Amino acid sequence: MAKKVDEIKWHELNIGGVIDEPGSAREYFTGDWRSQRPVWDESRCIKCGVCWMVCPDIAIYQKSDGYFVANYDYSKGCGICAKECPTGAIKMVEEGR
């Protein structure tokens, strides 16, 4: 949708709230639901990609150097990556600290 979600008027909505254009998820930064953020300790990371694989929001990316990082616009801070990391390279850090 061309308009931002908090600018759409009720009569501008499609019937039944149908979204007929792709990519609308880009506009909704669900990352602000997060209370804790995953932080990587690259000295312990073995670049296995388990975090990338288990992230339910597809919010983890591999950098060009092979290490992984979260996109904080979309990471909800669920902590699955930290729980599953086989080397304990990911720590959940409370937001605001």
Partner 1 sequence: MIGRRGIEVSLAIAEAAKLCRVEVISAYPITPQTHIVEHLSELVADGDLEASYITVESEHSALSACVGAAATGARTFTSSSSQGLELMHEILFVASGMRLPIVMAAANRALSAPLNIWNDHSDVMAARDTGWIMLFCTNGQEALDSIIIAYKIAEDRRVLMPVMVNIDGFTLTHVVEPVEFPAQETVDAFLPPYSPAYTLHPDKPVTMGAYGIPEIYTECKFAQETAMNNSKEVVIEVLDAFGKQFGRPYKVAETYQLEDADVVFIALGAMNENIMTAIDEMRTEEKKAGLVNLRLYRPFPGEELLALLKGKKRIAVVERVMPGGALNSPLFNEITSLAYRSGLTALIKNYVIALGGRDALQSDFRHIFDDMQQASAKDTRIKKGLNFAMIGVRA
User: Does residue 16 belong to the site contacting partner 1 (CB under 8 A)?
Assistant: yes
User: Does residue 65 belong to the site contacting partner 1 (CB under 8 A)?
Assistant: no
Which region among 8-16, 50-58, 70-78, 82-90 touches partner 1 (by CB under 8 A)? Answer: 8-16
User: Does residue 88 belong to the site contacting partner 1 (CB under 8 A)?
Assistant: no
SS3 state at 8: coil
CA dihedral 48, 53, 55, 61 (to 10 degrees): 70
User: Does residue 2 belong to the site contacting partner 1 (CB under 8 A)?
Assistant: no
Phi, psi of 69 (to 5 degrees): -150, 150
Q: How many CA atoms lie within 13 A of 77 on its CB side?
A: 15
Binding-site ranges for partner 1 (CB under 8 A): 5-6, 8-11, 13-20, 22, 24, 28
